[in-house]
A and B are shown apart, each in its own frame.
Chain A
Amino acid sequence: MRRSRRQPGALALALALLLATATQAEPMRRFALVIGNDEGGSDTRPLRYAREDARKMHGLLARLGGVSPADSLLLLNEEAQDVLAALTNLEAQAQAARARGERTALLIYYSGHAKDGALRLGDTRLAFDALKRRLADAPADIRIAILDSCRSGALTRTKGARRAPAFAIDSGATRDAKGLVILTSSSADEDSQESDSLGGSYFSHHLTSGLLGDADRSGDGRVTLFEAYSHAYARTVADTAASSAGPQHPTFSYDLAGNGDLVLTDLRASEGLVVPRSAPPGAYYFVDPGGLVVAELDKAPDLERRVALAPGTYRVKRRLEDRLRIGEVEVRRGQETVLEETRLRDAPFSDDPVKGGRARGSFWTVGMTAGFHSFFDRTVRQSLFLSVPLVGAEANLHDYFREDWVWSFDVALGGRSSRLNLETLEGASYQYSVVSLGTSLTTEWRLGDLSPFAGARLTYLYMGRKFDGGAFPDQYYATFSPGLVAGLRYRLLRRLHLTGRGRLHYLTYNVHEQGTENPNSSLGYWELAALVTYEL
């Protein structure tokens, strides 16, 4: 811990030296391979935000990092061979650019599992050594690897890289830097942690927040690689210090020749948010409509800062000792928006725009169902309780009792017309209807986009029939029915899920003649349904 804290200090020195030469750098063609994978194989728990982190980084590099869409690839939940193939593709492009005399940079960002000296890409593995060799040989002037994964620091211990703070800068040189830089989110024996309140991993969140402007301590409107790293390091350690998993220490290593820092993002574009010199100093938070902090800013007195927020509406929070200052700001496309202090108002801590619920890990999904309901007994389903299609709605509370548990509430309606066909009575037509009110408690296993689940449920089942023309009195039967449920949920889009599920239910039917051996009949029924849910 103590050793790690010295690391940013050394980097700050390096940063100051590098910034002196940064402006002398030639234009650089940038290539980016951004990888996100929630799955790490059978011996790992699926991650929640690895792909989301990758999406954010991919978007940020395209918007602010000077990476053109043609020069970047985003791989989500792909396997090792796909990563290597994509890397080959980018290497070929970089080789071609070099042949034209362009300076080139190749950046690989990975968010996902790593274990036993290898990146875990689903059930496939990509060894650190192999990746390292591949990067070392890549035909680009600068190769940057940013790994946000558990024990990723092992990569910086491998041969061929020196670990900061043993970072020497030849301040007198003017040659452009060439070589390999590796950033990892944790050390060789640490887990990388995700945060529900941030909607991503701590490291990637602070890295992207820093690239959006918070890391630009110099206030020159550009965030360099070293600025971004030192910012992400300090904030990640601080945020994870009190976590149950313990503090997480990002690492940095390099193998560079020449010098000159690499500007990762340029905030001087014509759009984004400007926090003017006159704005009060302190910690600013920019919150998206979903309640997630997308960027932070630690503003110093009398210094103008920029936050390169994407166009959209954000709530701004500035934290004081006894209260919050909150307000709303709209960042317009192609325009520079100035944050005016007068647009903020005092608010108690209870009005914090950052969602508290997600910090606990629970969230809701709501959806619509369509399915079919039928009793097992042929006589029952043909003449008593008929097989019917069902439509319904349901709400699911995820991760409320514990992680991966889902508490569901559902209602479904169904019905059809039929005719009696009894021993002494035929032809009476009627409308049969079913109403089901249920609650389920299931546990699910997240395997990337697929989540099988199983659990128990209790339904209040109402079945009735109404005879045409009032030929006979209306009849109904209502009872509680315990059951089992199992199915498969597939994440179609980020917030849209498609689910297929089956249910088995038991009920007691007691409208029977007394004096018979078994006055209660045990009946069972099944339901199959498809469900579309939206995550709130």
Chain B
Amino acid sequence: MRRTLWPALLGLLTACGGNFSNEDLEYLNALPTREALASKLPDSSASSVGGLRQRADQLSVGDPSSLYLDTRKASAEFNSALDGLLTLLENIRTVPPTTREPGRRTWGPWPDRNQPGHDVRFVMDRQGAFFAYSLQFKPSKDGDDAWWSFLEGSFKADAGIRKGEGELHLFVDDAVAKGINVGGLRGLTQLDVGYQNKALPSRVEMIFTAPPPSATPELRYTYRELPGGFGEMRFLVKSTDAVPGGLLEDVEITSRWTPDRGGVGTFVILEGDLKGASYRECWNAEGRVSFAKKSWELFGIGLASDCPDVSGFEE
């Protein structure tokens, strides 16, 4: 019996302590999750059909909606970027804070196995309902003065589960300059995310900033969401052949969708042929065109009454 008793008692002793803390939960609540920020575009059978094409070529009702396809692509890019960003925060949630100080929680520092020669830590500061956090690195051989922030964020809590207003900033160019492997983010200067979900519709805005001489020094996605599966994505498509003519166009697309009755997309030509012109296209639940009309034409195709009601997003 002694042979089993003592290991059992030692096991119980080592199992003392824990992470049971309400305060820790409030800190963790300030960190965004991909579920809260991701774009949620309903799938459809048309999503695998075709891709970007010139929108002026003999479009007819029932064709795959090119605006819907563009929206899908933008949604995927949006979510992919969020994944990369939030993965950095996911790991923090899996471990309890290393130190708990008044108004501060710190995870680490630890040597970063993915960034040899660097230490990493995550620091969260709290003042009432306002939380600021940063993911910091420093060369392992340097002192505490050498910590610099790769990611900075803040959140103003408004009660509820991750309800509030927040922002994140990823300083990619600093990281590259300091020898951090940024993976797929290389080519960007900075990635900024702002979001709020304390009021409807919830909003997530993502700005990709690239260094010159990039054709698109700033690329902005704005995603809004209403309860029940209604969503809106506003994004810029550069150098696309949107209308007949000798120039390629830069267009701003605003897509709004319903959970099960398709959506409505509009684009405005910012540069290129027919600058200032706009186009409106509606798609059904299968992602196929139900109505389309160009601003420079008198009549469109299909019936405008077939477009779903997405007026909930009107400002």
- Residues of A whose CB lies within 8 Å of any CB of B are 383-385, 420, 422-428, 437, 460, 462-465, 471-473, 475-480, 510-516
Contact = CB atoms under 8 A, between A and B. Distances in A.
B99 to A, nearest CB: 6
B22 A460 contact: no
Contacts of B28: 472-473
A476 B19 CA distance: 6
A373 to B, nearest CB: 16
B23 A472 contact: no
Interface string B131-167: 0000000000000000000000000010111001000
A475 B94 contact: no
Interface in B1-57: 12-13, 15-26, 28-30
Given A424-B26, A511-B21, A513-B23, 6 more contacts: A424-B164, A427-B161, A472-B93, A476-B18, A478-B16, A516-B102
Interface residues of B, number: 29
A459 to B, nearest CB: 11
Contact of B20 (A384, A422, A425, A427): A384
Given A425-B25, A428-B161, A513 B101 contact: yes
B157 A475 contact: no
Given A478-B16, A513-B102, A514-B100, A423 B26 contact: yes
Given A427-B161, A514-B100, A514-B101, A420 B18 contact: no
- Highest count of chain A CB atoms <10 Å: which of B17, B25, B29, B99: B25
Given A425-B157, A426-B160, A513-B23, A475 B101 contact: no
A515 B23 CA distance: 15
Contacts of A510: 17
Interface in B79-130: 93-94, 99-102, 129
Contacts of B29: 424-425, 472
21 contacts: A422-B25, A424-B29, A425-B161, A427-B159, A427-B160, A463-B20, A465-B20, A472-B93, A473-B19, A473-B28, A473-B94, A475-B25, A476-B20, A477-B20, A478-B15, A478-B16, A480-B13, A511-B20, A511-B24, A513-B23, A514-B100
Contact of A384 (B13, B22, B26, B99): B22
Contacts of A384: 20, 22
- Of all A-B residue pairs in the complex, the 10 with the closest CB atoms, nearest first, are A477-B20, A424-B157, A477-B18, A513-B100, A476-B18, A475-B20, A511-B21, A425-B29, A426-B159, A424-B26
Contact of A478 (B18, B23, B100, B164): B18
Interface of B: 12-13, 15-26, 28-30, 93-94, 99-102, 129, 157, 159-161, 164
Contacts of A512: 100
A355 B10 CA distance: 35
A420 B93 contact: no
Nearest to B126: A424
Given A423-B26, A478-B15, A514-B101, A464 B159 contact: no
Nearest to B95: A473
A364 to B, nearest CB: 16
A473 B159 contact: no
Nearest to B14: A478
Contacts of B99: 514
A306 B86 CA distance: 90
A471 B36 CA distance: 11
A452 to B, nearest CB: 31
A328 to B, nearest CB: 32
A348 B220 CA distance: 92
B190 to A, nearest CB: 28
Given A427-B161, A475-B19, A475-B20, A420 B25 contact: yes
Contact of B26 (A422, A479, A516): A422
B20 A515 contact: no
B89 to A, nearest CB: 13
A479 B30 CA distance: 29
B160 A425 contact: yes
Nearest to B99: A514
Contacts of A437: 12
B108 to A, nearest CB: 15
A477 B16 CA distance: 7
A475 B21 contact: yes
Contacts of B157: 424-425
A382 B269 CA distance: 58
A425 B157 CA distance: 8
Residue picked from B18, B21, B101, B164, most chain A C-beta under 10 Å:
B18
